[in-house]
Structures are given as C-alpha cells and as structure tokens.
C-alpha cells in the first residue's frame, strides 16, 4: 500500500502526463490475466513505443490527477468506478492508432477489458463509442488525404498547361510540315 507522499508523487506524475496526453482511456480489467495485459502492453509498445502506457491506478488518485490536469469530470464520474486500468497516449503519438489496438484486443478477447469511457483530445466519449472511434482514419491517413486534396488541383493545372503546350507544338509541327511540302 502506498503512503501519502508516494500517492502525492503519483498524482503529480499522472497530472503532468495527462496534461500532455491526446488519449486517456478507462477500462475495467476484470477477467484479464497477466499474460493478456502483457500482450496488450506489447502491442501498444510495438506500434507507439513509449508514447502509450496501460496501467492500473486507484480511482481516487486518477480522479485527482484528471482534475489537476483540468479535464472536465462533470457527469463522467461513472467511468471511474470499480477496477480501473488507464491507457494514456502522449500527444506526439496517434491516439486513433491506440484506440484501434485496444479495440482489436477487446474483440480478440471476447469483450474484455471493457472500455468505461475515454477522453480523446480532452473530449469525453462513452465506452460504447469505442467501436466508432476505432473506425476513424489514423493521423497518417488523414495527412495523406490532405496532401492528396492539395495535390489534385495542382495536378489538374499542370495537365491543363501541358495540354495547351501540346496543342501549340502540334500546330507548329503542322506549319513546319506544310512549309516543307512547299
């Protein structure tokens, strides 16, 4: 059991972590074995490195850290009851990728762990919205879409200019051939 100074230090560490997190997900880990938790942690580490963590934290300490990090807890306290594990992702990493990893893990393990709720970019979502959030495009896919959207008009302009130049070249070639025949 942690003593008061250790609890205060843990709350301070979690507060700083949550201030810089793009995702904070709460899960009921009841029914998970140590091997399953290790597998989830390994999957997160493989994709996101040290930018994602899945750990068990007491609800009271979690509540204090979230409040200190200025998360809106009003009406969302029901996510912080019973056994709670928290998955948090550093702002540098892609939160949607972590959601996808967690969702696939839940599907693979027949509904465990149960997502109680999550904060994505400080906006709260209920646990039953996990599936919809897992279908969002990742940060890399969104960037590719933006680049493709920017490239399309430029590509169209280049093709139009190339077409005009091609027409001028055909006309000049036709004049050249006509003069050679004379």
Distance CA 150, CA 147 (A): 5
Determine the Cα–Cα distance for residues 38 and 48; give it in Å rounded to an integer. 15
How many Å apart are CA 86 and CA 62, to the nearest integer? Answer: 9
List, for residues 26-41, the tens digit of each pLDDT value: 999 998 999 999 999 9
% of the chain beyond a pLDDT of 70: 99
Question: What are the pLDDT digits (tens) for 39-53?
Answer: 999 999 999 999 999
**pTM reported for the whole predicted model:** 0.75
Average pLDDT of span 80-101: 92
| 77 band by pLDDT with thresholds 50, 70 and 90 | confident
Q: Whole-angstrom distance between the N-terminal and C-terminal Cα of the chain? A: 103
Q: What pLDDT sits at residue 78?
A: 78
């Amino acid at each position: 059991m942690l003593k008061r100074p250790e609890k205060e230090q843990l709350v301070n560490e979690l507060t700083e972590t949550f201030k810089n997190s793009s995702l904070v997900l709460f899960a009921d880990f009841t029914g998970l074995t140590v091997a399953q938790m290790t597998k989830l942690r390994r999957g997160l580490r493989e994709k996101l490195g040290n930018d994602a963590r899945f750990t068990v934290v007491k609800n009271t300490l979690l509540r204090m850290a979230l409040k200190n990090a200025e998360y809106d807890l009003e009406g969302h306290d029901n996510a912080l009851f019973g056994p709670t594990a928290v998955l948090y992702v550093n702002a540098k990493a892609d939160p949607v990728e972590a959601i996808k990893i967690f969702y696939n893990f839940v599907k693979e393990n027949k509904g465990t762990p149960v997502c109680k709720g999550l904060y994505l970019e400080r906006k709260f979502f209920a646990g039953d919205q996990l599936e919809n959030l897992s279908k969002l495009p990742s940060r890399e896919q969104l960037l590719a879409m933006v680049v493709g959207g920017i490239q399309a008009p430029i590509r169209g302009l280049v093709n139009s200019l190339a077409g005009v130049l091609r027409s001028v070249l055909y006309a000049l070639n036709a004049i050249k051939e006509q003069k050679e025949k004379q």
